A and B are shown apart, each in its own frame.
Chain A
Amino acid sequence: MNAFLRKEFRESVRWLPLGWLLIGGLLWANLPGLDQLDKVMELATSLGVFLAIGSSFIALGLSIAQFAPDQRSAARAFLMHRGLSPEQLFQGKLIIGVAVYAMAIWLPLLVATLYLEWIGPLRLPTSARQTIPAWVISVYAFSFYFGGVMLACSNARWIGTRVLPLAIAALITISGMSTLLSNAVILEWLFLALGAFGLFAMLRASQDAFDNGARRVSPGMGLRSHWSRSLVLTVSSIVASMTAILFPTNFTSRNEIYRYISPAFDESGDAVYELMERGYAVERAKISSDPDAMVIEKVAGEAIIFSSSQVYQVYLMSTAQETVTAQPFSPRKLRSMRSEVFVYDPKGYVLAYAAVPSGDRTDRATWLLSYVVGRDKVSRHMETRGLPFQTKPTVVSNNLIVTKEGMYWFDKEAAKVKHIVTMQVDGYGWEQIATSHRIFLVSGSRLLEYSDPSTLTSLDSLQPEASIEVGENLLLLGMQSRFLYKDKDDFTVIRQTGAFRYLVVQKRPGKELERFTSSPPKSMQAQTSHLGPSAFYNGLVCMALPLAYILISGVIMLIAVFGFGVQMPEIGQDGGLASGMIEGAALIMFQAILACVLAYAAARHRGLSKKARVGWSIAGALGGFGVAVAIIAIYPRCFREACTCCKKPRRVELLVCEHCGSEWELPARDGIEVLETPSESENLVLQ
């Protein structure tokens, strides 16, 4: 085995400089300089994405360099005919593949990791943690190695069938990128687990492809012995066919004028719907609880202005979502001032960096950690830091921090932190007017407004300036939400709740609180492309999505709604969405039937049994057009020859005619044969 490993290493290691060049270049381009604080925020993502691309190329190239030359018949016979089993040969190649891959990718990445740990957090908010996604992704990108083995060992005539396994390799690599997503633990682990299973399936499939060489799954044998290769090719075919069908959507609606409806306030301060085109209002209707009272008024090229006094557009951020979607490995810039930047450290602290001018170049300032804010104190160094915040904090002004647990005030000079608002905060937003701040907190169905609390002298009893019960949660699906708001004396809140549904809450002096949901006039809705691009786009999407995907999504949605009480976006009863859904469902059913027929035809063409044909047809209905492609990729072509007995075309690989049951006739003899081995002695073999 050692001799074989040495030979494999010698053959593979010569490609190593190319790998170093590629990965070294990518790391060099992505690592931040000491003056590039902003780059640190995206470091985990950019490292992950670029390493996914680089690792994929290296894994694919390495496997092709290792396996393709051995596929020539003489080379394969020379390699395989030795005192080592095919499994040992594959394992040997894999060991060397992993070793060279590790040297090409993990060595440079290790250097990058040490560099980031060395410079942070004193000079930049970096740490070795930021490279964790890159490490994970580089492991998952190794699936391209197995894809390359399958590609090299395939004898498919069409290149499209050969490269099919790369589709699932891409999918596995993307699943590894879920580490970049968020703190959404369940989904992340689900994706990672699926990716790990895919990696295992590809390992088995590539070993199967290497062991069997040109031998494909015989129509006569079950898929059980080749489950991994069949699974990989089926999933790859489905992914590839979906991608191919959806590809034209890249070219749709590029030149369309995108029209949408937006709530606003007009010059007189009344709430209106505006039909927007290229950022300008073209139509306007005053919002009213009575739909018949809304009259459309044409306006010509008027820009929407929110900066007029007492009218604000506030983006509400959900604290729950902020916590869930925060990347576990990336710092996040919370607030930036002229010479001070607040950064959220994923360990639960707010780091304040001060700019250190670098020579004459003010734009090339480097940074130095100035203090660390924890839940209980402000410290000068990370080593003496206090307790971490339990949920992701957000710095809303120079000395205010909002978390899910309330609002904190801190004083860096006195090294003090005080919990000034103690209630559960579901959402927050702020608006800066001149030098003062208005801070909005959402707690349940209440909206509270605080006016510039940083100027208050007594911080023990911080009271809201305005508090209004809006009747429902302002945060749609727990995500961020935008609402329009007028000053506290004339309180109007408009929030979009569905495709064309808006929540309007009005409180006018001397009047009772009015709360109603409203929709823009139908004629205004009809002019929008708010529901998405053209019918062509929707048609392609419906043709691409397999029925199984729709069913699984539906089940997940039902579980979310009835099991966890998730609030779903409303579907306009009178909009175009409902009719669009019916058309879409019809198209999906048509696609499922067509895919079922195609799968049956492909199975018949490959000479599969009746039971297998039915099975594949069901798979076709659920999996879409890709299943027919999978059948063609998995099974070899079926050749037939006229039966000498019944004259019907019979399959050449079967010992007896499938029509009449007759055996093959011996080739006609010319009377010149000298055969000492009687043809009847077939049973000699395998006895």
Chain B
Amino acid sequence: MSTQSAQDIAFSASGLTRYFGNKPIVQQCSFSIPRGTVTGLLGLNGTGKTTTIRMLMGFLPPTRGSSAILGVDSQSLTAADRNRIGYTVEGHFLYNWMRVEECERFQSGTFAKWNGKQFRETIERFGIQSKSRISHLSRGQRAGVSLALTLCTFPEFLVLDDPALGLDPVSRQALNETILEFVESGDRTVLLSSHLLDDIERIADRILVMVDGRLVVDSTIENLLSRLSTCTLETDEDTTQLGAIPGLVHARRIGRRWTLSILDMNAESDAALSRLGCQALDRTPSAFNDAMMAYLSRSRGSSSFISKTPSVPSSR
């Protein structure tokens, strides 16, 4: 790949693998995220999202493989590189003994650039007083301070590890608005890990989906949805032979009705359905939520693509 194209890639990983003990948590993940995109990183708990982000940010050495930010190996990021990257850690870690204004002073003193006006505006959006002590803030307010601290350093690249974890709807909305404003303010690249599909759909234009430590989706949302179809059919048979359908991502059964999510549905898939004696009642392009539910419901195993009741509760 040419140097020019390498500079167009914000985040990349190549064969990224991490073991904890003798258990592989992340397995040979390879991806590249172009500059100027917002990428959602999705996966169930324990699938390796945070581990991947920690490796990407250079806080955890990979067992094998490598990752890079703007072509710089993650394990060799310099202070100058970090000045260009905003990162909020899972759980919004802050020093509890500090006041909000002390947090601001600490952050502004340890980064090359600082936008104090934006900081004050952001914390106002979350209803936070600058004199408040961090230990006295609600979870949503902590998230607000954390996000404000990150965004006000003028990052070109933003990595958010589950920023909306445990937030109430109002705080979530404020958080999303802040992130959206940041995205719209220029050529910014964001990698956002979250369980909240609506938020991802609203903000992201690319997604990475991890299942059991493997990367199964690395695509634009548009491309994924154009290739994934939802197919409804009725049958009395409790079949496990659905696995023979090419591209079947997930099958969900409610009563006699089956809802299948099939990737790249074509004549071959139709033929497989016919062989099973099933007739498709309906065939539509998948909605984002359905597509993600199909992938996230999937876990490795012999009949992992089948669930008889919705296995993932609604994100709303």
Give bound CA distance, A83 to B109, whole Å: 9
From A26-34, A551-559, A664-672, give the one contacting chain B. A664-672
Contact residues of A with B, CB < 8 Å?
A: 1-4, 6-7, 10-11, 72-78, 80-85, 88, 213-215, 639-641, 652-655, 664, 666-667, 670-679, 681-687
Question: Are A77 and B59 within 8 A (Cβ)?
Answer: yes
Give bound CA distance, A546 to B294, whole Å: 64
List CB contacts (< 8 Å) of B99-134 with chain A: 102, 105-112
Could you give, for residues 56-86 of chain B, a 1 whenever the CB lies within 8 Å of some chain A CB and a 0 otherwise? 0101110111111001010000111011010
Of the candidates A652, A676, A677, the one having the most CB atoms from chain B within 10 angstroms of its own CB is A677
Give bound CA distance, A76 to B83, whole Å: 17
Find B219's partner among A77, A85, A676, A683 (CB 8 Å cutoff).
A676
CB nearest neighbor in B for A75: B93
Give bound CA distance, A666 to B16, whole Å: 11
Question: Are B1 and A681 within 8 A (Cβ)?
Answer: yes
CB nearest neighbor in B for A640: B22
Does chain A have a CB within 8 A of B32? yes
From B178-186, B189-197, B245-253, give the one contacting chain A. B245-253
Answer whether A679 and B30 are a contact pair too, CB < 8 Å, given A77-B93, A653-B63, A664-B15. Answer: yes
Q: Please name 6 pairs of A and B residues whose Cβ atoms are closer than 8 Å in the assembled complex, sorted by A.
A: A3-B108, A72-B93, A652-B17, A652-B24, A677-B31, A679-B28
Question: Are A674 and B224 within 8 A (Cβ)?
Answer: yes
Question: Are A82 and B79 within 8 A (Cβ)?
Answer: yes
Question: Are B14 and A684 within 8 A (Cβ)?
Answer: yes
Question: Are A655 and B61 within 8 A (Cβ)?
Answer: no
Find A214's partner among B60, B80, B111, B247 (CB 8 Å cutoff).
B60
CB nearest neighbor in A for B19: A652
Answer whether A7 and B95 are a contact pair too, CB < 8 Å, given A88-B79, A672-B247. Answer: yes
Which residues of the partner chain A approach B85 to less than 8 Å between Cβ atoms?
Answer: 81
CB nearest neighbor in A for B94: A78
Which residues of the partner chain A approach B216 to less than 8 Å between Cβ atoms?
Answer: 670, 672-675
Question: Are B22 and A685 within 8 A (Cβ)?
Answer: no
CB nearest neighbor in B for A639: B22
Contact residues of B with A, CB < 8 Å?
A: 1, 3, 6, 9, 12-15, 17, 19, 21-22, 24, 27-28, 30-32, 54, 57, 59-61, 63-68, 71, 73, 78-80, 82-83, 85, 87, 89-91, 93-95, 97-98, 102, 105-112, 153, 214-220, 223-224, 227, 246-249, 263, 295, 298
Find B12's partner among A78, A81, A88, A685 (CB 8 Å cutoff).
A685
Question: Are A675 and B12 within 8 A (Cβ)?
Answer: no
Give bound CA distance, A685 to B66, whole Å: 7
Give bound CA distance, A567 to B53, whole Å: 69
Question: Are B97 and A684 within 8 A (Cβ)?
Answer: no
Which residues of the partner chain A approach B21 to less than 8 Å between Cβ atoms?
Answer: 639
Of the candidates B59, B71, B107, the one having the most CB atoms from chain A within 10 angstroms of its own CB is B59
For the complex formed, measure the closest distance between the CB of A80 and the CB atoms of chain B, giving whole angstroms: 7
CB nearest neighbor in A for B246: A671
Which residues of the partner chain B approach A74 to less than 8 Å between Cβ atoms?
Answer: 89-91, 93
Give bound CA distance, A76 to B54, whole Å: 11
Of the candidates A7, A85, A655, the one having the most CB atoms from chain B within 10 angstroms of its own CB is A7
Question: Are B105 and A3 within 8 A (Cβ)?
Answer: yes
Answer whether A84 and B223 are a contact pair too, CB < 8 Å, given A77-B54, A685-B66. Answer: no
Which residues of the partner chain B approach A2 to less than 8 Å between Cβ atoms?
Answer: 109
Question: Are A73 and B64 within 8 A (Cβ)?
Answer: no
For the complex formed, measure the closest distance between the CB of A628 and the CB atoms of chain B, giving whole angstroms: 22
Give bound CA distance, A681 to B107, whole Å: 37
Question: Are A76 and B32 within 8 A (Cβ)?
Answer: no
For the complex formed, measure the closest distance between the CB of B81 and the CB atoms of chain A, giving whole angstroms: 9
Question: Are A686 and B68 within 8 A (Cβ)?
Answer: yes
Give bound CA distance, A686 to B16, whole Å: 13
For the complex formed, measure the closest distance between the CB of A81 and the CB atoms of chain B, giving whole angstroms: 5
Which residues of the partner chain A approach B57 to less than 8 Å between Cβ atoms?
Answer: 77, 81
For the complex formed, measure the closest distance between the CB of A234 and the CB atoms of chain B, giving whole angstroms: 23
Which residues of the partner chain B approach A640 to less than 8 Å between Cβ atoms?
Answer: 22
Which residues of the partner chain A approach B32 to less than 8 Å between Cβ atoms?
Answer: 677, 681, 684
Find B247's partner among A652, A653, A671, A681 (CB 8 Å cutoff).
A671
Question: Are B15 and A83 within 8 A (Cβ)?
Answer: no
For the complex formed, measure the closest distance between the CB of A668 and the CB atoms of chain B, giving whole angstroms: 9
Answer whether A4 and B68 are a contact pair too, CB < 8 Å, given A83-B80, A83-B111, A684-B12. Answer: no
For the complex formed, measure the closest distance between the CB of A225 and the CB atoms of chain B, giving whole angstroms: 13
